[in-house]
Amino acid sequence: MNKKIIVIGSGFSSLSAACYLAKDGHSVELFEKNKTLGGRCRQFIKDGFTFDIGPSWYWMPDVFEKFFKDFDRKREDFYALDKLSPAYKIFFKDDVITIGDTLDKICLEFERIEKGSAIHLRKFIKKAQKNYEIAINKVVLRPGISPFELVTPETAMRVDQFFKTISTQVRKKFKNPKLISTLEFPVLFLGAKPSNTPSFYSFMNYADFGLGTWHPKGGMYEVIKAMSSLAKELGVKIHTESPVEKIHVENGKTTGITTKNNFIASDVVLSGADYHHSESLLDENHRQYSESYWNNKTFAPSSLLFFIGFDKKLTNVEHHNLFFDTDFSVHAKEIYDAPQWPSDPLFYVCNPSKTDPNVAPEGSENLFILMPLATDLEDSDALREQYFHMIMDRLEERLGTEIRPHVVYNRSYCRKDFETDYHAYKGNAYGLSNVLMQTAILKPRMKHRKLQNLYFTGQLTVPGPGMPPSLISGEIVADLIEKEHRL
């Protein structure tokens, strides 16, 4: 029997789950609080500039290809993809490392910095590729219900890699601090310090150097447009500007939700909103996790973002640019150990108009700047302004040219916006960190412990933060619901 299923939110996880559930024949209605769909991956257009609000790195293209294939569609039916060459640049104090679009090019760059490092790099990436294959084919689709899910012949042989960290593994073979930072960078997407991230996650290095960095033409929002048009084709009813105010429970089951003062009945409720907020929609006696549980979790950082339009072209920057020209260990401490606004921050600059003319007027440049920041810090206009100038000073120094007089549009975005726009706990940008104690079964559960028809998906549950994992999270939960509710 087909079920009436309510999906809360319209991020990657909710859209993905809605598509799979509709394909299985269920009647799916999705409720999103914001005006536009996409969650963290929204977009705004201003004065001819098209800004992606959140994600900018399109990694693991295979995950997106598989998604569309599951619906007998092709990704290229919806959007075009460019492989970026170079993939990105890293600015250090005394040098700039360019990461090419092939492993051969990257090996040459490693050799330039540290003689003999290319051989180690090839071995490291080979091992990372094996981990990627295991992660994607054997582990990632498990719902995090039983600890035995993680035990496969392949993971059992690599159990040491769950207890060693990526930092120690990298330092064994590479001595140059710039190469170490380059190899530690990908796991920052998992929201924790490399010194706290299990070395099994080196599969992110294969995603980086092996599979490459891609860009959907027109911007990241093209992916959301594709997923929402697929959802509509499959019959999902989508409601925007419809914040869910309550999840109702009767006799140990959810009966539906309230939005805009209307009760809507359903057989199953699935929330892809931030988990802490989703639980707050339940009466207190039905919540599974206490405030102290959430308070003790390690969250991925929040961020200070700037969306800037320039009236001229910028030289010396690529599409993706990492400014690692200060001490990361100090910035990392200021995010995780002694939370405070950073004294001398690392930051990231995305310049999509470098390769994509669709996102800025001719002769102009579109810049997205991201500075990672601890969650739950004070957020004021004065602080945003102070850091804008700190970052501009560094950029002007590194690029060797004055750029501030050419700013024609500037919007900032920080902790308060994450809370207002997404109900993000403490203003987190991308969920829970993938530290060992928050992996798989140790993450907040996909299925409510007591209520048989309430489920959760998204970056706060399995498998974790990032667009590809959130998309996969939607598939896993849809599979679980289909198994448990089809009679």
Ligand X SMILES: Cc1cc2nc3c(=O)[nH]c(=O)nc-3n(C[C@H](O)[C@H](O)[C@H](O)COP(=O)(O)OP(=O)(O)OC[C@H]3O[C@@H](n4cnc5c(N)ncnc54)[C@H](O)[C@@H]3O)c2cc1C
CB-nearer residue toward ligand X: 11 or 194: 11
Phi/psi of residue 32, nearest 5 degrees: -120, 135
- Eight-class DSSP state of 421: H
- Choosing from 21, 224, 465, 485, the residue that interacts with ligand X (CB under 6 A) is 465
Task: State the number of binding residues for ligand X (CB under 6 A).
Answer: 37
The residue range among 3-11, 78-86, 194-202, 288-296 that interacts with ligand X, by the rule CB under 6 A, is 3-11
CB-nearer residue toward ligand X: 336 or 422: 422
- Choosing from 429, 435, 462, 476, the residue that interacts with ligand X (CB under 6 A) is 429
Q: Say whether residue 470 binds ligand X (CB under 6 A).
A: yes
CB-nearer residue toward ligand X: 40 or 426: 40
Residue 148: is it exposed, middle or buried by C-beta count within 10 angstroms (0-12/13-18/19+)? exposed
The radius of gyration of the chain from alpha carbons, rounded to an integer in Å, stands at: 22
Q: Say whether residue 39 binds ligand X (CB under 6 A).
A: yes
Q: Say whether residue 56 binds ligand X (CB under 6 A).
A: yes
Closest CA to 54 of 473, 421, 457: 421
Q: Say whether residue 299 binds ligand X (CB under 6 A).
A: no
CB of 53 to ligand X, least distance (A): 7
Q: Say whether residue 430 binds ligand X (CB under 6 A).
A: yes
CA–CA dist 118, 75 (Å, integer): 34
239: tokens are 């409601």
- Choosing from 27, 34, 258, 288, the residue that interacts with ligand X (CB under 6 A) is 34
Q: How far is CA 273 from the centre of its chain?
A: 14
219: tokens are 């911007």
DSSP per-residue letters across 273-334: S-HHHHHHTS-GGG-SS-HHHHHTS-BPPEEEEEEEEESSPPSS--SEEEE--S-HHHHHII
Cβ-based neighbour number of residue 181 at 10 Å:
19
Closest CA to 251 of 5, 456, 3, 450: 450
Q: Say whether residue 351 binds ligand X (CB under 6 A).
A: no
44 three-class SS: strand
Q: Say whether residue 41 binds ligand X (CB under 6 A).
A: yes
CB of 10 to ligand X, least distance (A): 5
Work out whether strand 96-99 and strand 88-91 pair parallel, antiparallel, or are unpaired.
Answer: antiparallel
Q: Say whether residue 423 binds ligand X (CB under 6 A).
A: yes
* 140 in Cβ contact with 443 (< 8 Å): no
CB of 400 to ligand X, least distance (A): 27
- Choosing from 89, 277, 443, 485, the residue that interacts with ligand X (CB under 6 A) is 277
- Choosing from 5, 51, 54, 319, the residue that interacts with ligand X (CB under 6 A) is 54
Cβ-based neighbour number of residue 124 at 10 Å:
21
Positions 352 through 381 that interact with ligand X (CB under 6 A): 370
Binding interface with ligand X (CB under 6 A): 8-14, 31-34, 39-41, 54-57, 243-244, 272-273, 277, 303, 305, 370, 422-423, 429-431, 458-459, 465-467, 470
